[in-house]
C-alpha cells in the first residue's frame, strides 16, 4: 500500500509540472477556476451556514424549553433590541425562525449538495477535465457568497432580520421592517447563483462525458444532479419574479400582493390595492415544491453511490431508479398547491393537487425500495459513510410516509401549521438529506484530500447524531397530532390543548443541544484528518466509478490520461472476475 502511495504522488507531481502553470495564492484558492476548489469552497461555506442555522435553532429551542428565562452565558450578547436582560423578545424569535429556514435551505443544504458535491464529484465521475464554463462556475460561487453576506448583514439593520417566516407570505412581509428588503435582495443573489450553476451542470453532463460513457452508464449520482439542475433551472425563475414583485411592493409602492381595503394597526393602508396575496403563495410554492426535490435528489444520488460500494453489489434496478427520478422531477412541477389547501382555492383544484401528490409518492417509493433491496444478501461493509447512508433509508422513509396525510386535503386541515409538519419535513431534510451529505463527506474526503477521516470519531459522530436527532423530531409528531401550532414564541401556553404537550419541549431542547455537542467530533475529525488522516491511494474504497481513477487529490485537469469507459457504473462482484469490483475505466481483458 505504502509503495503505491509514494508512486502515485511522484507520478502526479511529474506529469503536472508540464501541464499547469503555477498560480498565486489568490487565483489558486480564492478566485479559482478549478471545479474541485470551487466545490470545496461551496462545501465549507455551506457547512458553516448549516452550523450557523443550527445555532439559531438551539437558541429557539431554549426559548421553547424555558419560556421567559434569560438565555444563559450568551444572553447578553444580543443587545436590548433583541433580548433585553438576556430574555428573548418575540420579534427576535421570529427573526431566528425565518432565518433558520432560509439559511438551512438556500445557504446550507443546496450549496453543499449541489454546489459542493455537484461541483467536486460530477466532472470527476463523467471523466471531464473541469466544468464546461469555469468562469461562470466561479461567478456562481461568488454571487452565492454575496447573497449569504446580505442575509447575515440583515441581522444588523434597524429592527433586525426578516421575520415573516422562510416563506415570506404577504401581506405581512410587504409591511415588515427593512430586514425583509435585505432578505429579498439576498434571495435574488442566491437564485441567480443557482441558475448559473444549473446551466453549467446540464451543459457539463451533456457535453463533457468521457468516451464510452453513455447515459445508461452514468453513475446514479450524476443522474440525480442532472434532474436537480433542471428543477433549479425551471423552478427558480418564478421565485425570482415573485421576489422582484415583492421588492416593487416594498420599494416602489405597488400593490401586487396587497388587496384593497387592507387595515394595518386599525388604520387603512394608503396603497392603490387591487393585488392578491395568494399570487405570492402560488409563485413561491411553484419554486419551493421542486426545491424540496432539489434538497432530496442529490442526497439519494450520494446514498446510491455509497450503498453500491459498501454492499459490493450492483444497485438493484438501476434503470428503474433512473426512470423514477426523471418522473419525479417532472411531477414535482405540478404538486405545488398542496401547500395551499387551507387558502380556499376550491375543492376541484385541491382534488387535482391531491391526486398529483399521491402520484409523486410512487417514484419516491420506487427509489427507496430499490435501495433497500440492494442490501438484500449483501456482505455489507459498515464504514462510517455506509452507516450514514443506511440511516438515510428509514429516516427518509419516515419523512416520506408522514407526508402522505399532509398531501390529502381532509387530514391536512387538522395537521396544517402544527409541529407535525415540522417533524415531517425535518425527517426528510435533517436525518434524511443532511445524513446523506455527511455520508458523502466521509466518502469523498479521501478523494479531496488524499487522506481518510478517522473511523472511531466518525462512528461517535454517527451514533450520537442518530439518537439525538430522532429525540428531536419524533416528539414533534406527538405534539402536532395533539394540535400544537408551530411558530409560537412560547410554544402556545395560552391554549388548553397544549397543556400536556409542552413538556416535550424540554426533551427536544436537550436532544437538540446534545446534537450540537455530537457535531464536535465531526469538526475535530474534519480538520485533524486533513493533516493527520491515514494516507490513501487512488481508490481506497475499491469503487468502480471514474473519480477513483484520478489521483487523490486530483491535480488541475483531473486525469493523467484521457479516461475511457468500458462498462456500466456498478460492476461489483462480477462472477468469474478476479476481484469483487470491476471499475468502469478498466479495459476488457482479452
* 271 makes contact with other proteins (CB under 8 A): yes
Q: Which residue lies nearer to other proteins by CB, 247 or 453?
A: 247
By three-state DSSP, how is residue 71 classified? coil
* 31 makes contact with other proteins (CB under 8 A): no
Query: Measured between alpha carbons, how far is residue 285 from residues 75, 114, 190, 290, 291 in Å?
Result: 36, 20, 17, 8, 9
* 386 makes contact with other proteins (CB under 8 A): no
* 206 makes contact with other proteins (CB under 8 A): yes
Spatial distance between the Cα atoms of 432 and 298, rounded to a whole number of angstroms: 11
* 276 makes contact with other proteins (CB under 8 A): yes
* 242 makes contact with other proteins (CB under 8 A): yes
* 253 makes contact with other proteins (CB under 8 A): yes
Nearest CA among 328, 515, 354, 330 for reference residue 426: 515
Least spacing, CB of residue 460 vs other proteins, in Å? 41
* 181 makes contact with other proteins (CB under 8 A): no
Q: Which residue lies nearer to other proteins by CB, 110 or 543?
A: 110
The cell numbers describing 499, all together, are 397543556
Least spacing, CB of residue 282 vs other proteins, in Å? 8
Sign, CA torsion 293/295/301/305: negative
Query: Measured between alpha carbons, how far is residue 387 from residues 392, 440, 468, 545 in Å?
Result: 9, 11, 15, 21
* 90 makes contact with other proteins (CB under 8 A): no
Spatial distance between the Cα atoms of 254 and 39, rounded to a whole number of angstroms: 40
Q: Which stretch binds other proteins (CB under 8 A): 3-11, 206-214, 415-423, 529-537?
A: 206-214
Q: Could you tell me how far CA 434 lies from the centroid of its own chain?
A: 7
> Among 40, 104, 187, 195, which residue sits at the site for other proteins (rule: CB under 8 A)?
195
> Among 9, 87, 233, 401, which residue sits at the site for other proteins (rule: CB under 8 A)?
233
Least spacing, CB of residue 227 vs other proteins, in Å? 14
Spatial distance between the Cα atoms of 482 and 484, rounded to a whole number of angstroms: 6
Q: Which stretch binds other proteins (CB under 8 A): 132-140, 261-269, 345-353, 539-547?
A: 132-140
* 245 makes contact with other proteins (CB under 8 A): yes
* 536 makes contact with other proteins (CB under 8 A): no
Spatial distance between the Cα atoms of 370 and 388, rounded to a whole number of angstroms: 17
Q: Which stretch binds other proteins (CB under 8 A): 243-251, 399-407, 456-464, 576-584?
A: 243-251
Write the CB contacts of 26 (distance below 8 Å, at least 6 apart in sequence): none
> Among 240, 291, 305, 547, which residue sits at the site for other proteins (rule: CB under 8 A)?
240
Q: Which residues pair with 263 in a beta bridge?
A: 268
Residues 278-317 that bind other proteins (CB under 8 A): 279, 283, 286
DSSP state of 309: H
* 275 makes contact with other proteins (CB under 8 A): yes
Contact between residue 202 and residue 229 where contact means Cβ atoms under 8 Å apart: yes
Backbone angles phi, psi at 159, to 5 degrees: 70, 10
ω into residue 310 within 30 of 0, thus cis? Answer: no
Q: Could you list the residues that contact other proteins (CB under 8 A)?
A: 19-20, 128-130, 132-134, 195, 198-200, 202-203, 206-208, 233-238, 240-242, 244-245, 248, 252-256, 271-272, 274-276, 279, 283, 286, 556-557
Amino acid at each position: 500500500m505504502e509503495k503505491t502511495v509514494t508512486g502515485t504522488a511522484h507520478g502526479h507531481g511529474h506529469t503536472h509540472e508540464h501541464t499547469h502553470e503555477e498560480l498565486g495564492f489568490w487565483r489558486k484558492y480564492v478566485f479559482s477556476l478549478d471545479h474541485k476548489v470551487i466545490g470545496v469552497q461551496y462545501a465549507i461555506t455551506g457547512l458553516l451556514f448549516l452550523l450557523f442555522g443550527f445555532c439559531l435553532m438551539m437558541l429557539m429551542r431554549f426559548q421553547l424549553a424555558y419560556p421567559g428565562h434569560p438565555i444563559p452565558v450568551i444572553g447578553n450578547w444580543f443587545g436590548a433590541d433583541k433580548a433585553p436582560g438576556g430574555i428573548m423578545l418575540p420579534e427576535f424569535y421570529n427573526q431566528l425562525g425565518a432565518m433558520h429556514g432560509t439559511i438551512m435551505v438556500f445557504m446550507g443544504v443546496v450549496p453543499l449538495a449541489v454546489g459542493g458535491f455537484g461541483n467536486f464529484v460530477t466532472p470527476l465521475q463523467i471523466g471531464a477535465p473541469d466544468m464546461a464554463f469555469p468562469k461562470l462556475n466561479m461567478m456562481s460561487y461568488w454571487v452565492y457568497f454575496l447573497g449569504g453576506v446580505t442575509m447575515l448583514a440583515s441581522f444588523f439593520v434597524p429592527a433586525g432580520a426578516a421575520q415573516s417566516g422562510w416563506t415570506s407570505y404577504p401581506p405581512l412581509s410587504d409591511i415588515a421592517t427593512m430586514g425583509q428588503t435585505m432578505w429579498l435582495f439576498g434571495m435574488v443573489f442566491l437564485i441567480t447563483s443557482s441558475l448559473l450553476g444549473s446551466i453549467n451542470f446540464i451543459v457539463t453532463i451533456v457535453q463533457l462525458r468521457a468516451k464510452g460513457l453513455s447515459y445508461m452508464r452514468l453513475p446514479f449520482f450524476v443522474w440525480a444532479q442532472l434532474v436537480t439542475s433542471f428543477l433549479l433551472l425551471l423552478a427558480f425563475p418564478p421565485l425570482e419574479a415573485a421576489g422582484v414583485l415583492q421588492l416593487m411592493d416594498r420599494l416602489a409602492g405597488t400593490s401586487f400582493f396587497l388587496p384593497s381595503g387592507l387595515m394595518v394597526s386599525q388604520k387603512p393602508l394608503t396603497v392603490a390595492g387591487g393585488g392578491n396575496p395568494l399570487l405570492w403563495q402560488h409563485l413561491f410554492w411553484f419554486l419551493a415544491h421542486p426545491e424540496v426535490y432539489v434538497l432530496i435528489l442529490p442526497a439519494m444520488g450520494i446514498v446510491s453511490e455509497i450503498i453500491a460500494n459498501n454492499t459490493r453489489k450492483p444497485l438493484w434496478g438501476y434503470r428503474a431508479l433512473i426512470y423514477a427520478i426523471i418522473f419525479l422531477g417532472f411531477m414535482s412541477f405540478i404538486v405545488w398547491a398542496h401547500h395551499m389547501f387551507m387558502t380556499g382555492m376550491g375543492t376541484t383544484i385541491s382534488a387535482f393537487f391531491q391526486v398529483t401528490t399521491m402520484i409523486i409518492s410512487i417514484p419516491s417509493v420506487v427509489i427507496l425500495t430499490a435501495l433497500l433491496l440492494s442490501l438484500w444478501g449483501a456482505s455489507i461493509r459498515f464504514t462510517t459513510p455506509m452507516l450514514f447512508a443506511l440511516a438515510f433509508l428509514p429516516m427518509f422513509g419516515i419523512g416520506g410516509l408522514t407526508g402522505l396525510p399532509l398531501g390529502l386535503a381532509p387530514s391536512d386541515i387538522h395537521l396544517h401549521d402544527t409541529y407535525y409538519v415540522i417533524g415531517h419535513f425535518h425527517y426528510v431534510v435533517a436525518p434524511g438529506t443532511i445524513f446523506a451529505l455527511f455520508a458523502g463527506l466521509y466518502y469523498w474526503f479521501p478523494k479531496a484530500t488524499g487522506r481518510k477521516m478517522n473511523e472511531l470519531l466518525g462512528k461517535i459522530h454517527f451514533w450520537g447524531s442518530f439518537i439525538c436527532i430522532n429525540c428531536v423530531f419524533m416528539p414533534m409528531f406527538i405534539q402536532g397530532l395533539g394540535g400544537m401550532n408551530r411558530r409560537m414564541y412560547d410554544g402556545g401556553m395560552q391554549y388548553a390543548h397544549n397543556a400536556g404537550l409542552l413538556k416535550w419541549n424540554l426533551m427536544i431542547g436537550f436532544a437538540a443541544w446534545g446534537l450540537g455537542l455530537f457535531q464536535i467530533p465531526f469538526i475535530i475529525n474534519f480538520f485533524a484528518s486533513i493533516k493527520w488522516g491515514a494516507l490513501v491511494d487512488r481508490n481506497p474504497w475499491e469503487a468502480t466509478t471514474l473519480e477513483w481513477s484520478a489521483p487523490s487529490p486530483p491535480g488541475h485537469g483531473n486525469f493523467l490520461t484521457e479516461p475511457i469507459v468500458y462498462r456500466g457504473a456498478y460492476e461489483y462482484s462480477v462472477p468469474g472476475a478476479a476481484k469483487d469490483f470491476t471499475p468502469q475505466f478498466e479495459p476488457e481483458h482479452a
